[in-house]
């Protein structure tokens, strides 16, 4: 059943309009053009460090798929590209493989990407469904990952007829896992953003960092509406198409509260200029999913072309704001759209 659901999710995301009715909030910002950058374009250094690893660019190929036969080649293409471009990559939820070991090969990418920063992935709610530290350790070791991402998806689970909706006591269980697992743990949403109150509990739990995964990208309520078996189920899901905390709002709020806590910005990021806006707002890394999924489903060449475009946009945007390195980017490089000029 899980494998069939994974296939269905993948097909819907590739073939249907699943964009949130909410915006990311990034449209409210513009990068301030620097006509005298005092450097050459070639001087721009996109490299950065995350989880103790050096990346060639501040980009994460976000969690997308796995657990279905057609996901295997997509994951391997994504991983090959991460290796070629020096990027980080997060796998899709590995629950399907833990429950059906034959599906684990759909997540195996180390043979084509031996050097990348690779993140394993499980649903946090599964800690209330029998998963423990040993299960999480198996998820990490089975794919030779460098860290574990626990995803939070209460709305998605609530909209699924087969969803797991017991989110009681998860903060305490995440804290226990942080104390017992040998690799760092990150927590992410799946496209509805992380609130200040949720982040506070996760910070106290000892989570290494967060992926805010804000609203404005893929709407899982739309995905579940397409999967609905009855008109009533579809109508329930339709009310949530603009649900969530926009990516920019979540990022600004959490960065103000924790100046040094590692944050990944994701949720509706579509081009390199938006990547640089997120970095200037305080993100350590920026995640992208659907644009890369669509390219990877087409071919490896299409995926590499898409990444070259995005990374060139990042380089040019940094050059034209006078930022030589990722660390140089900060809010002084931004202006609000309704009041152009230095904030």
Tokens 């659901």 appear where? 5
Q: Which of 64-73, 193-202, 321-330 comes out lowest in average pLDDT?
A: 64-73
Q: What is the mean pLDDT of residues 93-120?
A: 96
> pLDDT-derived band of residue 339, with 50, 70 and 90 as boundaries?
very low
Buried b (16+ CB within 10 A) or exposed e, 98-115: beeeebbebbbbeebbee
Domain of 181 in residue numbering reads as: 2-336
Claim: this prediction has a pTM higher than 0.85: yes
| CATH number for position 267 | 3.20.20.70
Determine, yes or no, domain membership for 112: yes
Write down the pLDDT at residue 1.
66
Q: How distant is the alpha carbon of residue 69 from its chain centre?
A: 22
Determine, yes or no, domain membership for 343: no
Determine, yes or no, domain membership for 102: yes
Write down the pLDDT at residue 3.
80
Q: What is the pLDDT of residues 230-246, one digit of tens each?
A: 999 999 999 999 999 99
How far apart CA 211 and CA 198 sit, in angstroms, is: 12
Q: What is the pLDDT of residues 166-223, one digit of tens each?
A: 999 999 999 999 999 999 999 999 999 999 999 999 999 999 999 999 999 999 999 9
Residue 221 near residue 235, CB atoms below 8 Å: no
Tokens 């006078």 appear where? 322
Q: How many CB atoms lie within 10 A of CB 321?
A: 20
Determine, yes or no, domain membership for 342: no
Determine, yes or no, domain membership for 13: yes
How far apart CA 94 and CA 96 sit, in angstroms, is: 5
Helices (H), 207-335: 220-227, 231-238, 247-257, 272-281, 290-298, 300-319
Determine, yes or no, domain membership for 341: no
**60, pLDDT greater than 80:** yes
Residue 116 near residue 139, CB atoms below 8 Å: no
Determine, yes or no, domain membership for 61: yes
Number of domains in the chain: 1
């Amino acid at each position: 059943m899980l494998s069939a659901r994974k296939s269905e999710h993948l097909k819907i995301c590739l073939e249907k309009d699943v964009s949130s009715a909410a915006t990311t909030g990034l449209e409210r910002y513009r990068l301030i053009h620097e006509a005298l950058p005092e450097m050459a374009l070639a001087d721009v250094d996109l490299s950065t460090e995350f989880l103790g690893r050096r990346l060639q660019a501040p980009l994460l190929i976000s969690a997308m798929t796995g657990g279905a036969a057609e996901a295997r080649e997509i994951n391997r293409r994504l991983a090959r590209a991460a290796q070629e471009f020096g990027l980080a990559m997060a796998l899709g939820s590995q629950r399907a493989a833990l429950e059906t070991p034959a599906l684990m090969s759909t997540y195996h990418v180390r043979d084509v990407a031996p050097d990348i920063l690779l993140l394993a992935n499980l649903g946090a709610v599964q800690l209330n469904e029998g998963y423990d530290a040993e299960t999480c350790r198996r998820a990490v070791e089975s794919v030779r990952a460098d860290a574990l991402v626990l995803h939070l998806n209460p709305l998605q689970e609530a909209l699924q007829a087969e969803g797991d909706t017991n989110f009681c006591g998860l903060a305490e269980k995440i804290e226990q896992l942080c104390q017992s697992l040998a690799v760092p743990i990150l927590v992410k949403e799946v496209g509805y953003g992380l609130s200040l109150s949720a982040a506070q509990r996760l910070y106290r739990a000892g989570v290494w960092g967060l992926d805010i995964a804000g609203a404005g990208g893929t709407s899982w309520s739309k995905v579940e509406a397409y999967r609905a078996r009855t008109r009533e189920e579809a109508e329930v899901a339709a009310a949530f198409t603009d649900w969530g905390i926009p990516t920019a709002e979540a990022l600004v709020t959490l960065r103000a509260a924790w100046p040094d806590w590692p944050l990944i910005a994701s949720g509706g990021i579509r081009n390199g200029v938006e990547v640089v806006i997120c970095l200037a707002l305080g993100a350590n890394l920026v995640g992208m999913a659907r644009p890369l999924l669509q390219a990877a489903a087409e071919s490896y060449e299409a995926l590499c072309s898409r990444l070259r475009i995005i990374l060139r946009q990042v380089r040019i945007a940094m050059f034209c704001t006078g930022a030589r390195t990722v660390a140089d980017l900060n809010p002084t490089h931004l202006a609000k759209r309704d009041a152009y000029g230095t904030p």
